[in-house]
Amino acid sequence: MSKFKKIILILAPFVLLYLFCLPARLFKAPLSATLQSTDGTLLGARISADGQWYFPPAKQVPDKFAKCIVCYEDKRFWWHPGIDFLSIGRAIRQNFSRGEVVSGASTLTMQVIRLSRPQAPRNIPEKLLEAVMATRLELRHSKKKILLLYASNAPFGGNVVGIEAAAWRYFGRPADQLSWAESAMLAVLPNSPAMIHPGRNRERLLQKRNFLLDKLYANGTIDELECELAKDEPLPDKPMPMPDKAYHLLERLRAQGGDKAYSCTLDPALQDRVNNIARNHFEIYHTNMVDNMGILVQSVRSGEVLAYFGNTRGLAKGLRGADVDMIPAARSSGSTLKPLLYAAMLQSGQILPGTLIKDTPYNYNNFSPHNFSRSFDGAVPAGEVIERSLNVPSVRMLEQYGAARFLELLQKMGFSTINKDADHYGLSLILGGAEITLETLVGAYRSMAAQLIDAEDAPQIPLSRAAVWLTFDALSKAGRPEEESSWMEFSSGRKIAWKTGTSWGNRDAWSVGVSPDYVVGVWVGNSDGEGRAQMTGVGYASPVMFDVFAALPASRWFSMPIDDMVPIEVCHQSGLPASRICPDRDTVWVPDIKIRPDECKYHRIVHLDADRQWLVNSSCYPVEKMVEEVRFVLPPAMEWYYIKNHLDYRPLPPKHPDFDAGSEQGSPIEIIYPQQGVTVVLTRGLDGKEQGVVVRAAHTDPGAVLYWHLDDKYIGRTVGDHDLMLHPEPGKHLLTAMDSGGASRSVYFTAK
């Protein structure tokens, strides 16, 4: 074997040891979880699993700190190969002359190696090993990368590791925004990290910082004025708390991905304003034992979340349920889904904005909804149903549209928590019978708005631009929310399409609003489900929502999608396509679809006597003397309630005494309660007596007399307001109401 080969065999193990002397990953300590906005603002941080503030490394070392640390620790860092032989010679000379160790010769590269091996002993053999590993590190990484490794892992006092954590802990801002004085103070800490302890070693720390500033001036890094001004800056008094502006968002991300650096689209300034708005309202609501709140703000154009307030954690001590993130929490929807039904029915051609919807007592399989005001209007335009959030007409609309069909639409709109079949929800689906999240609610309204402004990433939804615009137009009027009429107090003076919701038992208060630029959603309540008296969407959630909108830039209103709409003539009173006899007509823009509701059925031609006192026909009055008029006529039950709120409504006059009822179709009587098939529960008072049940009917003739029969047995008569108290025995019964002309109406009901 040649001499050369022998040398190769001898050196090969040492070469291999050198090549692989560094682990693939130098630092393995657990990281802190951090949340930053896209502009680098720290929104939140969590201490690492081993109790350190140890932030994930930044992309590069801030320029000021880099110059400070190189000047203070290793002035030949940019040129040496990991070992500074000049520094070694100087250290040997000084230590021998003093007879003790007064100077070291570790380069920043060697210090990186030492930091990566915290358990290694501090002796000469280890020092030699660090030197060898340092040269290997120089071969693996660039100087900038080595400096970043040092800055990211050096100790900065207490449990603070790394320049980024230190900058936030001591100065409350990112490292790249620190002054020369602040950067210099941090540069001297890794060498003596204990000096940062509040109230201790402050003079020594100040001397070291100023010494470094003088060196920076001496080597021309800063000028004399910068040096003097930097020396005048005080040291920080004590470590600052880490920012925690979006606690629940960071916790949500940690649960999904563990502890690491997270970036988000939150707007730091807006997040601060939203946090303050939540705090101000919480102080009021807390007095009514309403303790929890969620607020979400989303950009319509980009879909980015701009503000995320998950709950009231930290606003009061021992606050119940404040750790629950209310943004993804499933809660009863209240009335928030009504606009989606309105838009769907506009698109399907089943209604027009002014179509009258029946608002009278309703019962379906013993489901008997009521309006918030406990009153009825008889008939309400569809757009006003949405504006006022009326419950009974909304249930009738859902019955007409179909619960299964509406459920399919909701699932396509992203409401994944509504995941049972239509039979499970029934018609209560429109009144809060399903659970939704604030996140999906805001997302659905954002999807509709994005479609209107033609956002590039607008999600595909099963609603047309025309239907959405008409829905938002109705919601923007919201002149009389059903819950109360004080909404004007909360108006921010800008046009917003908004909807409130209140779940059964006042457990959930919702408000969602949308403009061409922003969607704001608010939930208020108690996360444990406890309801509170007077807590409604308009009273509790809407004030928060409008305050958030006031903190946002104003937006123009949505442009009307003319290309997707057509003008049609509708009856002014019924809102239906005008018939040939409708006297007053309006032109309205509606979705450009082939299907339309039938033309107006409420205007009809009637015949009166010459004095217009009687309704007549050929059986009782000469045809040549009859007066023909066009009248707006509602069915009996609708008319009975409608006339109470519309003083201009003219009911038909009574029929002539000799009027032949058999010559006309349809009964003038409508039994309002009980409805067909209803089960009536008989209750007893404190005295043990059965309370009975009140039956009610309506007649087209306000002066008609009704004769009531129960199971073919006469039980009484009514005039005008046809209300009658009954005391039926348990079981099935037939109730009949008959007028003096022989017209009648009957229903079956069950008493128990």
- CATH number of the structural domain spanning residue 181: 1.10.3810.10
Check whether the bond before 567 is cis (ω within 30° of 0).
Answer: no
Eight-state DSSP code of residue 678: P
Does residue 587 fall inside a structural domain?
no
Q: What is the mean pLDDT of residues 615-642?
A: 88
> Could you give the 3-state DSSP secondary structure of residue 53?
strand
Report pTM.
0.85
Could you tell me the pLDDT band of residue 741, with boundaries at 50, 70 and 90? low
- In a domain, residue 343? The reply is yes
508 and 502 in contact (C-beta within 8 Å)? yes
Same domain, 358 and 451: yes
% of residues, the chain, pLDDT over 70: 89
DSSP string, 114-125: HHH-TTS--SHH
Sign of CA dihedral 46, 50, 51, 57: negative
Hey, CA dihedral for 417, 422, 424, 430, is it positive or negative? positive
pLDDT in tens, 213-234: 999 999 999 999 999 999 999 9
Residues 54 and 202 in one domain: yes
Say if residue 482 is in the same domain as residue 427.
yes
Task: Report yes or no on 108 lying in a domain.
Answer: yes
506 and 432 in contact (C-beta within 8 Å)?
A: no
Which domain-ending residue is among 508, 538, 564?
564
Cα 588 to Cα 565: distance, rounded to the nearest angstrom:
10
pLDDT band at 487 (very low <50, low <70, confident <90, very high): very low
Nearest to 213 by CA among 178, 177, 185, 175: 185
CATH number at residue 298: 3.40.710.10
- Structural domain for 651, as ranges: 603-663
Residues 405, 406, 409: CA angle, nearest 5 degrees = 95
What's at 645, amino acid-wise?
Answer: N
pLDDT at 171: 94
DSSP reduced 3-state for 567: strand
Binning pLDDT at 50, 70 and 90, where does residue 27 land? confident
pLDDT for position 401: 96
88 in the same domain as 42: yes
Q: Exposed/middle/buried for 567, CB within 10 Å: 0-12, 13-18, 19+? A: exposed
Residue 391: its pLDDT value, please?
Answer: 94
pLDDT at 129 over 50: yes
**Does one domain contain both 287 and 342?**
yes
Q: Hey, what's the torsion of the CAs at 283, 285, 288, 293, to 10 degrees?
A: -120
Provide long-range contacts, Cβ within 8 A and 24+ apart, for 722-725: 722/696, 722/697, 722/698, 723/694, 723/695, 723/696, 724/694, 724/695, 724/696, 725/692, 725/693, 725/694
At 493, the pLDDT band (50, 70, 90 cuts) reads low
Asked, for residue 91, whether it belongs to a domain, the answer is yes
Say which residue the tokens 């830039």 belong to: 553
Same domain membership, residue 282 and residue 228 = no
Residues 213 and 305 in one domain: no
CATH of the domain at 678: 2.60.40.10
pLDDT tens sequence across 543-555: 999 999 999 998 8
Residue 71 lies in a domain: yes
Within this chain, do residues 282 and 374 fall inside the same structural domain, yes or no? Answer: yes
Q: Give a yes or no: residue 452 inside a domain.
A: yes
Cβ contacts of residue 145 below 8 Å, gap of 6+?
none
Q: What is the rounded CA–CA span in Å between residue 62 and residue 187?
A: 12
Torsion of CA 582, 583, 586, 590, to 10 degrees: 0
Give all strands (DSSP E) within 491-563, no chain letters: 497-502, 508-514, 518-525
| pLDDT score for 685 | 66
Q: Across residues 70-93, what is the average pLDDT?
A: 78
Of the candidates 210, 285, 207, 268, the residue with the CA atom closest to the CA atom of residue 541 = 285
Strand partners, 698: 670
Please check whether residues 487 and 536 belong to one and the same domain: yes
d(CA 360, CA 348): 24
695 and 637, same structural domain?
Answer: no
According to DSSP, the β-strands at 603-608 and 627-632 are antiparallel
**Cβ pair 482, 390 in contact under 8 A:** yes
Q: Which of 522, 115, 45 is nearest to 292 (CA)?
A: 522
Q: Residues 256-286: pLDDT tens digits?
A: 999 999 999 999 999 999 999 999 999 999 9
**Do residues 284 and 175 share a domain?**
no
Same domain, yes or no, for 274 and 145? Answer: no
Q: In the beta sheet, which residues pair with residue 331? A: 436
Closest CA to 285 of 40, 642, 514, 534: 534
Residue 220 forms part of a structural domain:
yes
Top pLDDT among 114 and 701 is at: 114
| 574 inside domain | no
323, 284 Cβ separation under 8 angstroms: no
Q: CA-CA distance, 161 to 54, in Å (whole number)? A: 5
Helix (H, G, I), strand (E, B) or coil at 718: strand
CA dihedral 61, 66, 69, 71 (to 10 degrees): 170
Q: List the Cα angle 259/264/265 in 5-degree steps.
A: 175
In sequence order, which ranges of 556-695 are alpha helices (DSSP H)? 636-645
Q: Please report the beta strands in 633-692, taking only residues with DSSP state E, as ranges in sequence order.
A: 669-673, 679-680
Question: Are 731 and 750 a contacting pair, CB within 8 Å?
Answer: yes
The domain boundary residue, chosen from 648, 663, 678: 663
- Collapsing DSSP to helix, strand or coil, 552 comes out as coil
> Which range, 27-31, 70-74, 340-344, 621-625, is most confident?
340-344
DSSP annotation of 655 reads B
Torsion sign across C-alpha atoms 33, 36, 38, 39: negative
pLDDT of 125 > 80? The answer is no
If residue 737 lies in a helix (H) or strand (E), which one and from where to where?
strand 731-739
User: Which single residue is written with the structure tokens 């010494």?
Assistant: 211
Instruction: Concatenate the DSSP letters of all residues of 424-485 into one string.
Output: HHGGGGGGT-SEE-HHHHHHHHHHHHHHHTT-TTPPP-SS-HHHHHHHHHHHHH--S-SS-S
The number of domains in the chain is: 4
Return phi, psi of residue 486, to 5°. Answer: -90, 20
- Residue range 392-423, pLDDT digits in tens: 999 999 999 999 999 999 999 999 999 999 99
Q: What's the gap between Cα 84 and its chain centre?
A: 59
Average pLDDT (235-244) is: 90
3-state secondary structure of 571: strand
- In this prediction, residue 372 carries a pLDDT of 83
